[in-house]
Structure 1
Amino acid sequence: MLRISPLLCFCLFIVLVSKLSAQEIEIFKVSDFDLRGNVKTCLVITDYGKEEYHFDQQGRLTKSVTIFSDSDYETTHYKYKNGLISERRIENYLNDTFDSATSLANFYTLDTVPERMVTEKIISYEKELLEQNRYYYDDSDRIIRMVRVGTDGTDEITFEYEDTEEGELMTQKLNGIIAKTVETTYGKIDRDSLRQRTLETKNYLNGELTTRNRKVIGPQEKLLFICSSIYDSSTEKWISQEEINYEYTEEGVLSKSKEKNRGLLSTKEYIYQFDGSEAKNWVKEIITPNNTYKTRRITYYKKEEPQIAVEKE
């Protein structure tokens, strides 16, 4: 069974809060890992192990390593072609030995005639085709259909978009039955960099409401608020499960989170040490009151020295 890095899961979550659907194919960048500037590598040391990230000079993730112990680790490689992801390989090592049974390779190909379509093939290292997905897009590059063919059959997921007075409504259906809706509403500020938006996601099981999630995204894509509820069909009411408010410094760094979980209140404060680079990335994070910490070792691409023309005598 594949192990998934907790930190990478959190980063994926942060990226997906701004997307209409988790079905879209993502290219992860420096900014998705709470990093700024021309970062080359970032080693994150946590209480469960280590995370290592590598980026190209365009800021795209090319390699991630989750180190569980000296002999157990997972490596993921990313390759790109014409600005799009073309390959992703997940390789697991147990006791310093490559485990082909839990390692996978994803290959992506693009076709633009008669419409934009991306085909994804998921293949085991034992050369078995596990799954094939086809993603279809409209003229605005929004995903409109996904066809999944796996060992357990074929599924079709459709995406419908509707403009509303304050934003947009996306409806996702699985084999013709509603599975999810995402309603996006925008604040009144015109400048995109300052615009605040709210995403309310409702999830369905066999066409019946199950859960609701609400997220508020502020300027510079900062997550300001998130709450989750479950739907009680007997009373037709929503039951709150969790609410979290996030606060940031003037520099855009997370400083405090206030959580309400089933009536219980808790507050976390975040203290940072920063590196001496122009990007001013943090290299140590302490979370109180539990005093848990996380450290980062960051390297940067060197700036190219400008060429000085020398006149010939």
Structure 2
Amino acid sequence: MVKNYIPQFLFILICLPLVFYAQEVKIFTLKDFDLKDSVKTCLVSTSYGKEEYDFNRKGVLTKSVTRYNEADYDVVYYKYQNDELIEKRSESYRNNIFDPSTSIAHFYKLDTLNNVKITEKIVSYEEEFLDQYVYHYDEKGDMVKIIRTNNDGIDETLIEYKKYKGEYTVTYLINNEPLKSIRTSQLKKKNGTVQKVVLTKEYLKGEANKAFEEVFNEKGLLVAQQEFEYNIAEKTFVPTKRTIYTYDDNDMLVGEASKNGDEVMKKEYVYQYDREGEGNWIKQIVRPENTYKTRKITYYVPEVMEKE
């Protein structure tokens, strides 16, 4: 019951450091994992272990497993009702034994009596109350307030929206102190294309801390990112690391070049696909490190064939 009411760009606020400890409230789909077509399962082998993902026929994530070794792993189950997320359970296993002390469950309840309100309750498997978040929306469907309640007390986060000369800014204030601001604008290039520019500023105890600016092309692909550190003496943000991203004709990331002071780093991404030049990639090689990631993918059999 989250999918239809939380705007996509607002999901990040659930993960803000030091303040929000709830996991990101989002319905994950194949697109979030760089997958397409009728994928049923995806097994990813990485340097730290393995990740497993299960999807339903609609391409929605229903289960994820992170395996650190054969005996230690974490499992997350997603439960839906009418295509809306109503429950998420995170279970930990160590030495192949379920650990209820580090396993938690999230429950979501929707209230549409007046303006939309969503309540998220987080409890441990030992039935200990951990957190409760209540997300309030206005008549336009924009989130305007979050009330967090736990054993330490109550925190209130307000979300303000402002439009000014083509710029759209969303600001988060916790107990009236700035926490984060996201300003979105458009940049028209000489060739006529329009890019989206997103500047995010983060605050620590109400004081400016760091920032980063992202530039997206007309396809929504991230093409550049500039990072900033806040200079207290000069009271301004100072640019640090800048990264440029390049893509191939299939919109796959193939190059990454970053510069931080005199330090320059470049990466090249090479892919192998389960179908020649298309389909889903099953091996990604990163040069010059020559590290790699592999994926084993299974697909749903078309329902027509199943009936036959």
Tell me the TM-score normalised to structure 2 length. 0.88
1:147 and 2:137 matched = no
1:78 and 2:78 matched = yes
Give the letter aligned to residue 284 of structure 1: K
Report the CA distance between 1:51 and its aligned residue: 0.5
* Structure 2: runs of 5+ lacking an equivalent: 1-7, 15-24
Partner of 1:9: none
- Counterpart CA distance in 2 for 1:49 and 1:307 is 34
Matches within 5 A, 1:132-281: 132-188=132-188, 196-276=195-275, 280-281=279-280
Report the CA distance between 1:211 and its aligned residue: 0.8
- Counterpart CA distance in 1 for 2:87 and 2:231 is 43
Q: Deviations over 1:163-188 (max 9, x none)?
A: 22223111110011121111001245
- Counterpart CA distance in 2 for 1:307 and 1:92 is 35
More strand by share: 2
Give the letter aligned to residue 209 of structure 2: T
1:22 and 2:3 matched = no
State the superposition RMSD in angstroms.
2.1
- Counterpart CA distance in 2 for 1:35 and 1:220 is 17
Describe the SS at the equivalent of 1:31: helix
Describe the SS at the equivalent of 2:219: helix
Give the letter aligned to residue 114 of structure 1: N
Describe the SS at the equivalent of 1:178: strand
> Is the contact made by 1:20 and 1:182 (CA closer than 8 Å) also made in structure 2?
no
> Is the contact made by 1:20 and 1:170 (CA closer than 8 Å) also made in structure 2?
no
* Structure 1: runs of 5+ lacking an equivalent: 1-17, 309-313
Describe the SS at the equivalent of 1:214: strand
Give the letter aligned to residue 183 of structure 2: E
> Is the contact made by 1:74 and 1:91 (CA closer than 8 Å) also made in structure 2?
yes
Report the CA distance between 1:307 and its aligned residue: 11
- Counterpart CA distance in 2 for 1:256 and 1:278 is 18
Give the letter aligned to residue 235 of structure 2: E
Report the CA distance between 1:254 and its aligned residue: 0.6
Q: Percent identity?
A: 39
Tell me the TM-score normalised to structure 1 length. 0.86
> Is the contact made by 1:130 and 1:151 (CA closer than 8 Å) also made in structure 2?
yes
- Counterpart CA distance in 2 for 1:169 and 1:212 is 14
> Is the contact made by 1:40 and 1:298 (CA closer than 8 Å) also made in structure 2?
yes
